[in-house]
Amino acid sequence: MPRAVGLTAEVLEGWAPLFADVRLIPGDKGVFDVTLDGDLVYSKHATGRHAEPGEVRAIIESVIGPPVLEG
């Protein structure tokens, strides 16, 4: 859970005004999926590992553009 909270903070620091909804949903067996507008953009199950620091942020930036806030 601490990794998920940290990732959420990292994303919100850059794009909070653009998100209508951010959720952390506890899952079973170490599930860690990140979706953006209903599209899966990162899956721990698919990669076999946790996201590296900044990895999900880079994926989000490639989809919606550079951060609108300075973190």
How many domains in the chain? Answer: 1
Sign of CA dihedral 4, 57, 18, 41: negative
Whether 36 is in a domain gets the answer yes
Range of the structural domain that residue 53 is part of: 2-64
pLDDT of residue 70: 66
Structural domain includes residue 71: no
pTM: 0.77
* CATH number of the structural domain spanning residue 31: 3.40.30.10
**Is the residue at 69 inside a domain?**
no
pLDDT in tens, the chain (71 residues): 788 888 888 888 889 898 888 887 777 877 888 888 888 999 988 999 988 888 999 999 999 999 997 65
Q: What is the pLDDT of residue 23?
A: 81
Give domain status of residue 12, yes or no.
yes
